[in-house]
Structure 1
């Protein structure tokens, strides 16, 4: 999507640089990109290396620090069987991780795990086989695990437990990312941590997918602050108007978006923006791209993906438009705001704790 392709069709130019500049302006300091297959992991590392070179050549270019995971997502593990051999595929994965560690790009092994919500991609028994094989590979490296779990808590824990009980993983940190489970599953995961004698730690990260129903919102106060992380999982997992978490969001400025250029009212009243918005109200039915729509909570324009290249008002805004239904790293503050409101906890405490946890685990 960040290269402009949607369902195999090209909608707009590659806007990765714009997305990263926007993230930096809205307080994102580091980004961990995820690998979901061997090829995707390779491409991700190539993108990071290319962007690092651009930053080195242009000291005016302000981007977040970029790192990556390497692993094969449960929904794509059948790639092991379409490769020349399973052993060869694992060896290529191992080599990519080794090279990525040397170049200080790879900071975690994953995304690996189990997903029983989407068995139409990969049967359960195949997921279990390749989750275990990748855990065996992970045992060769001193990397935290970046784990995926959907509707598979019992098998997920049963697969992980021998590796923890026998102290097979060199790195003691495991992140269950994009958590969407209930109170029972959360308790089972922390029981796994408590029951092992080797000091392994379970972390839980939350994004819009974990804020889309009331049962998951209810478990937010139960996650210890020293185990909480935040993420966007962009371009997926945005917080939607239909989610119960939507009501906890408010327009900037706030603790998560405190700067003047994030002040919704100030930007809305700025010369050029005000006139465009007034014209948009008058010409709602006009589709000639002169209309202007701002994002609900930040004074950033929004457009449909196929209208991005035709946006005529870029000179008025420092941020490129957000694309409707495409999540971005700059929106991580919305996740933090919901969690702060639900937990009734000081925003800065949430921000600092989640960031410190992330840095402690991924560096």
Structure 2
């Protein structure tokens, strides 16, 4: 692997909701992972405390101004899946400048809560998920099954055996009958996710899905590359080792995401020096309409992820944005 190169810190520019003139050909983006139903956007609540009026409308307006043309709204429970489908249908009318879709599925850390800690038989809940997905497929509101996968960093929420069981169940009873792409969670699990996917290859279609928020080794990435895209966000860019993985990934297998409101590219991160575009922000307690909230990511911040990748790979931003745009369309927004 070639050594990681360093640029001199680039010129900083600030983007506002009306700023579309910074590039002769503005970059365009698909945010393939946005948790926009989070209370921070729809209620102005942070860690159980109300801080400001809801500002989801402003968040989406900033995203559109920053070049986000397509967005995948992510869900992690059955209730969130239903809410995501409703939101997509509403937003399509309200924000015609952006193409929106969503995922349907149960996150690995929520499998105990959803499938075990209720009095409802698991087969009934899986059938409910399937029906939500099939209903959303009628108007292309639902574009992927997810967020499903494995997470061994947070076993206090769900034991690995339960995660594995209901990953397989969702593959067999939701992903397989729908044929939709997979939106996969992979956190500190070695090859377990890869192995389960290989054992259930009849449940998914090659090159139709993403291992999102990737922060593992290059060896693990290379296992997935022949069948899936790799999703990169701020959590994928936190260390020098992570940047070396990004440098080695082929551009035609990368998708961009924010995983907002999480995964900020922080000033302490090694890739931060590559960021050229900044957004005015206030602390949540000092909220000001028209400005971002500090440390709360939004889809507009996807340009920062692209800038870090461009810097690490020593290629133009537009090359990154266009390649990842087309990759994302091929994965989620194309009927081919």
TM-score (norm 1): 0.77
1:139 aligns with: 176
Q: Could you report, residue by residue, the CA deviation over 1:184-243 in whole angstroms, capped at 9, with x for unpaired residues?
A: 2122323xx3xxxxxxx3100100001111111101122112111111010100101111
5 Å-filtered alignment, 1:218-233, equals 218-233=244-259
SS in 2 for 1:356: helix
Cross-structure match for 1:6:
46
Is 1:28 aligned to residue 64 of structure 2? no
Give 2:306's aligned residue. 336
The Cα shift of 1:142 comes to 1.8
Greater Cα radius of gyration, structure 1 or 2: 1
Equivalent residue, structure 2, for 1:197: none
Q: Which 5+ residue runs of structure 1 have no aligned equivalent? A: 56-61, 194-200, 253-296, 315-319
Deviations 1:144-166 (A, max 9, x none): 110000011311111111222xx
SS at match of 2:185: strand
1:113-165 deviation line (CA, Å, top 9, x unaligned): 0001111111111111111111112111121110000011311111111222x
* Partner residue, 1:155: 192
Write out aligned runs for 1:1-363 (5 A): 1-3=40-42, 4-55=44-95, 63-78=97-112, 79-83=114-118, 84-137=120-173, 138-164=175-201, 167-170=202-205, 172-190=207-225, 193=226, 201-250=227-276, 252=277, 297-298=278-279, 300=280, 302-308=281-287, 311=288, 320-363=290-333
Paired residues of 2:207 and 2:229 also in contact (CA < 8 A): no
For residues 237-258 of structure 1, give each alpha carbon's deviation from its aligned partner in whole angstroms, at most 9, with x where no partner exists: 01011111112223x4xxxxxx
Asked whether the 8 Å contact 1:180–1:209 carries over to 2, the reply is yes
Higher strand residue share: 2
SS of 1:218's equivalent in the other structure is helix
1:21 touches 1:63 (CA, 8 Å); kept in 2? Answer: no
Partners of 1:113 and 1:231 lie apart in 2 by 17
Please give the root-mean-square deviation of Cα atoms over the aligned residues, in Å. 1.5
Q: By how many angstroms is 1:169 displaced? A: 2.5
Alpha-carbon distance in 2 for matches of 1:49, 1:9: 29
SS class of match (1:36): coil
How far apart in 2 are the matches of 1:18 and 1:223?
34
Runs of 4+ displaced beyond 3 Å: none
For residues 126 and 40 of structure 1, the distance between their equivalents in structure 2, rounded to whole angstroms, comes to: 20
Q: Paired residue for 1:270?
A: none
The Cα shift of 1:348 comes to 1.5
Higher relative contact order structure (alpha carbons within 8 Å, sequence separation ≥ 6): 2
Report what 2:6 is aligned to: none
CA contact (8 A) 1:23 1:64 kept: no
Any idea what the Cα deviations from partners look like across 1:274-299, whole Å, max 9, x if unmatched? xxxxxxxxxxxxxxxxxxxxxxx24x
Deviation per CA, 1:26-48: give whole Å up to 9, x if none.
Answer: 11101101111111111122222
- For the Cα contact (< 8 Å) 2:206–2:228, is it kept in 1? no
TM norm structure 2: 0.83
Summarize deviations over 1:268-325 as a string: whole Å, max 9, x none.
xxxxxxxxxxxxxxxxxxxxxxxxxxxxx24x3x1122322xx3xx5xxxxx110011
Deviation at 1:172, TM superposition (A): 4.5
- 1:54 is displaced (CA, Å) by 3.1
